[in-house]
Amino acid sequence: MGQGYGYKCKKCHYEYSVYLGGGMKYPEEYRKKIEEISAGAYGTERKNLIDKTEYAAIDADRVVYVCSACSNWELGTDVTLYAPNEPVKILKIQYGIKTVEEWGYVPYVTRWELKENYHILKRYYYKCKNCGKRMHKASEKEKINLPCPKCGEPNKAESIIMWD
């Protein structure tokens, strides 16, 4: 299940929305991100780490990143790499009709599982496409008050969206 926000700019009347989380396609999105990292799309260091760390994981939920320098915001995926605390324990986790051991890999990992069973291996820092500075994950207050992507006017979310 994902959550989002709907906005209508009070200045230029542009309507925009932000969809966060994972939804029903989370396992598919998770796999795509892992494949991108393994292919080197996020650099050779991250590629080498994911290739040599058994059962490495990421948090593939969509999040809002905000730039403190220029106030730009973007949707993105946090590709911080995680390693299991106890790889043997991970082998016994069931995904559908098979365990990780039977699959030979971890089909996906949820945010809750990351907190319970993993530790950070290599943190990912999202860079602003406008100014190149490091961005941070938006707080709840920032998510509710995202400025209009067309004119920059500060706006409040008019609706909360539950999606899947």
Over residues 110-159, the pLDDT tens digits come to 999 999 999 999 999 999 999 999 999 999 999 999 999 999 999 999 99
The answer to whether the beta carbons of residues 39 and 57 sit under 8 Å apart is: no
Domain that holds residue 121: 24-139
For residue 82, tell me if it sits in a domain: yes
Cα gap 111→116, rounded to integer Å: 9
Whole-number CA gyration radius for the chain: 18
Question: Mean pLDDT over residues 24-31, rounded?
Answer: 92
The answer to whether position 157 is within a domain reads no
Q: Is residue 61 part of a domain?
A: yes
Question: For 38-49, what is each residue's pLDDT tens digit?
Answer: 999 999 999 999
Number of domains in the chain: 1
